[in-house]
Structure 1
Amino acid sequence: MDSFNDSATPASLMATRRSGKARDMISPGPDSAQLAAMLHTAARVPDHGKLFPWRFVVIENRDAFAQSLLAAYLSGKPGAGRLEQDAVTQFAVQSPCLVAVLSSPKQSHIPLWEQELSVGALCQNLCLAAHAHGFVANWLTGWAAYDEQVLALLGGAAPERIAGFFFIGSQAKPLEERPRPDMAAITSHWAG
């Protein structure tokens, strides 16, 4: 896997980025240097007040994380069947690399909304950085992103929130294009 796609222009990278399905990802995933570069790139976002209202949690021991996710899930749904339990544990191990992004708002005169927008920009930058390095990324949430036990498992506490889980790897099959919005329907022009 190339360490970085320097032949692509920023515009072409943005125009061609697509989410790969986490369940379809295969090795290789990014090595530690590539992942460090992606995280560094992701952090180059608008950040009013230089608050850094976000942080990354790289999940290295995926089997242990899967078991911890399952324990959190079962504490709320003790009667969950085998299929549900398998889906929960599969979530944690379905791609070569997994990074959680936490929204970590700071006490400040900067509005919370602006801090949350910065988190969203960081998340999109992480997807673009993975694409620039020749990988695919999938930004998922699901029940785990809203579970207080999972937040605590990742070292977080309120008012922090999980912005998403980022699965990064190589795509096993060609990506399908998804429907895109009609730009005329979502664009207006204000002339005064």
Structure 2
Amino acid sequence: MTSKLLPLALLALALALAACKAQVPAPAAAPTEPPAATAPPGEGAQAVVQQTAEQPQLQLPTVDGKTYSLADHRGQWVVVNFWATWCAPCLQEMPELSALHVMRGNVEVVGLAYEDIEVADMQAFLKEHPVAYPIAILDTYNPPKDFATPRGLPMTYLIAPDGKVAKQFLGPVNAQEIEQAIVAAGGKAA
């Protein structure tokens, strides 16, 4: 009797695992980065930018009514973080990015919300998940042309003081990884 139940139990387990696997989106993977990113919705809808400019330009309105310009931060390290409110890894890295922004005088962080969301909804979200750095909402159908279209979220760029891309991270990033990338690019440790 036990030998007849074992195949049924294995079949039930296989079906349960298959059902779980079908519901969990596969993470996007990069050859040199951890496969922990979440693909943005409607990714195929916009024109895809394949490569980030060597010295990207960025000027966007932020949800607090100001304008963020990457050029205004020359001379500092800038962390450009593509994220979304629905992205669990993005939410996990927000407090650490916020602390980095506050604690390091020569490191600035800017969050680029890569989703279709109204400003009022984003402001309400940020009351629940406050950060010290500016947040801008991107038009997913017309994202910044100087940055590659995110293959997954979060997608983070470290911009050197000269305005050039020093490192790109696909998946969640922490302050230690950013600090290591700054040192590897010739910057000073905290």
Larger radius of gyration between Structure 1 and Structure 2? 2
Specify which structure has the higher proportion of strand: 2
Specify which structure has the higher proportion of helix: 1
TM-score normalized by the length of structure 2: 0.29
- Per chain length, whose mean CA-contact separation is higher, i.e. which structure has more relative contact order (CA < 8 Å, sep 6+)? 1
TM-score normalized by the length of structure 1: 0.29
